[in-house]
Copies of this chain bind each other. A is one copy, B any other.
């Protein structure tokens, strides 16, 4: 029963049915929020040991007093754990404060004002700086570009990574200095960049000598199934291809421990690490080493991280199952929407009929269901087809999530039938 095969009267009947459901929804006085990839309280509880850590022993394994100044590269034990998880040499990994977004921001700022390793001049002195933005993608990446006047060029995000035909063509332009990629369980589609795509990104001949891959591995260990998908080794691939300074790898524990009080990571070539620590060493005398010690004591080792992520999965997987269940039950087979079924990460990406996303989000809002604004996952907040909606199932309790998803399905059907009826 596709919407395409229904008669106008059948569509009208479906519309009226959804209209009635929608009116009921509005009466319910909901206040639900599926906008942001925030961990739920139950997930945060998994790391509550941090709240009493590190305890009175404030020295790290090397005997350093973590309370005092110093140490711009961060705690070595913590770096060892994440070097293994991210498959990079520990000397090529530094750990910082609570937000990898901040490191990404600073990398852009340093490139703009100082240039990167291999830049001919600071990017701010270029006539134009362009970043490729596989979309739908992460709105906060795009916001940094927008803040600093970096032109964003939209590239389709496919199931195995960015559309490489488009990338290949784009990088012949020397103004193209970078690409944003969430390689594993991409925000919001859940796509995983394949080895082949990663290898091509690493090997690509680019007109700009200082082209950078911002490889935001935010969900490196955030599996929703028992399969621990391994992220392609972009640092190794780039080095092997003769472009060692191309990758900027980011990660954090924001969705492993505490979203607002975790630790962040930056990995790259030895030259890039020296470049970064030299510049960031003028910004701060060092990261919060006490918090890093807390994390070492909580996580212990790589197995500790995986064990913690298994507990997250037990909380998250049922929520993602509810999203699939409601979307299938309500929208399945009608050809009014497609959606992703991610094997990890924090989002489900829903495509409604072209031109309907803004309407769906507005309808949902009026019924008390907050969704990320339509278009947020695209550069400049503009979805060229106005069809994409990002669903973030993590934060609400499961029954609220079900209610929100039922309401969202109603809004999708209402908007789609409205459109058909003209």
Binding site for B on A (CB under 8 A): 36, 38-39, 41, 44, 47-48, 50-52, 54-56, 58, 65-71, 97-99, 101-102, 105-106, 109, 112-114, 124, 140, 143-144, 147-148, 254, 258-261, 279, 282-291
Identify 13 new A-B residue pairs, CB closer than 8 A, beyond the known A70-B260, A260-B289: A41-B65, A44-B68, A52-B55, A67-B261, A69-B259, A69-B260, A71-B260, A109-B109, A109-B113, A113-B148, A143-B282, A261-B290, A291-B291
Please tell me how many copies of the chain the complex holds. Answer: 2
What's the Cα separation between A288 and B98 when bound, in Å? Answer: 6
Given contacts A52-B55, A283-B105, whether A69 and B288 have CB atoms under 8 Å apart is no
| 6 A-B residue pairings within 8 Å (CB atoms) | A39-B68, A44-B65, A48-B58, A51-B54, A98-B284, A140-B285
Contact of A69 among B38, B71, B105 (CB under 8 A): B38
Contact B259 A68 (CB under 8 A): yes
What's the Cα separation between A50 and B124 when bound, in Å? Answer: 42
Contact B102 A36 (CB under 8 A): no
- Chain B contacts for A39, CB-based, 8 A: 68
- Chain B contacts for A260, CB-based, 8 A: 66-71, 285-290
- Chain B contacts for A288, CB-based, 8 A: 97-98, 260-261, 288, 291
Shortest CB distance A112–B (Å) = 6
Q: Which 9 A-B pairs have the closest CB atoms?
A: A261-B290, A105-B283, A67-B258, A99-B284, A44-B67, A69-B259, A261-B288, A102-B284, A98-B288
What's the Cα separation between A57 and B216 when bound, in Å? Answer: 32
